[in-house]
């Protein structure tokens, strides 16, 4: 697991709080797959809840895919904020859509510094206590 990703307003994506997450090899068939813990509820309409882990493969998304996007933050010039949303391309802009109606779309233009980190291919959730 590489860190946390926002499902709501973007949060700082700085690689802190690294942890291990074991994923069944049948699903993690590539060496470059990673997981991020979700913070927030903007994707709850898709069953992605606060505290879940999204499993991400770094590849180019198609319209409608759930993606992790890192965007240039508002503070330090070297900091990025990351969020998980559905991707919708529209001409020279990208719209990031939540599945919870309380969250507005995020519109990225070609001049915005944003990096699509990858496509969400799975969600991991633990029920009850973990030891």
pLDDT tens digits, 89-101: 988 889 999 999 9
98 carries an active-site annotation: no
Model pLDDT, residue 10: 46
The predicted structure's pLDDT at residue 37: 87
Q: Is residue 131 part of a domain?
A: no
Cα gap 89→107, rounded to integer Å: 10
Q: What is the mean pLDDT of the chain?
A: 80
Question: Does 95 map to a domain?
Answer: yes
DSSP state of 11: E
Q: Determine, yes or no, domain membership for 41.
A: yes
- pLDDT given at position 95: 94
87 SS3 class:
strand
For residue 2, pLDDT beyond 90: no
Q: What is the pLDDT of residues 5-57, one digit of tens each?
A: 655 544 444 455 445 566 666 666 777 888 888 999 999 999 999 999 898 89
Indicate whether 91 belongs to any domain: yes
How many domains are there within the chain?
1
Q: Which of 85, 93, 98, 111 is catalytic?
A: 85
CATH of the domain at 22: 2.10.109.10
Q: Calculate what percentage of the chain has a pLDDT beyond 90.
A: 37
pLDDT of residue 46: 96
Residue listed under structure tokens 């904020």: 81
Residue 53 within any structural domain of the chain = yes
Q: Does 129 reside within a domain?
A: no
- In this structure, is residue 130 part of a structural domain? no
Structural domain including 14 reads 3-124
User: Can you read off the two tokens belonging to residue 92?
Assistant: 């020279």
Is 87 part of any domain? yes
């Amino acid at each position: 697991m590489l860190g946390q990703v926002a499902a709501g307003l973007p949060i700082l994506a700085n690689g802190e709080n690294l942890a291990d997450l074991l994923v069944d090899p049948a699903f993690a068939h590539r060496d470059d797959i990673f997981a991020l813990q979700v913070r927030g509820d903007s994707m709850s309409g898709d069953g992605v809840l606060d505290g879940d882990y999204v499993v991400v493969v770094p590849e180019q998304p198609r319209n409608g895919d759930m993606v992790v996007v890192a965007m240039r933050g508002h503070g330090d010039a070297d900091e990025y904020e990351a969020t998980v949303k559905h991707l919708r391309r529209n001409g020279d802009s990208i719209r990031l859509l939540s599945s919870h109606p309380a969250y507005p779309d995020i519109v990225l233009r070609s001049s915005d510094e944003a990096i699509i980190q990858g496509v969400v291919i799975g969600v991991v959730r633990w029920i009850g206590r973990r030891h």
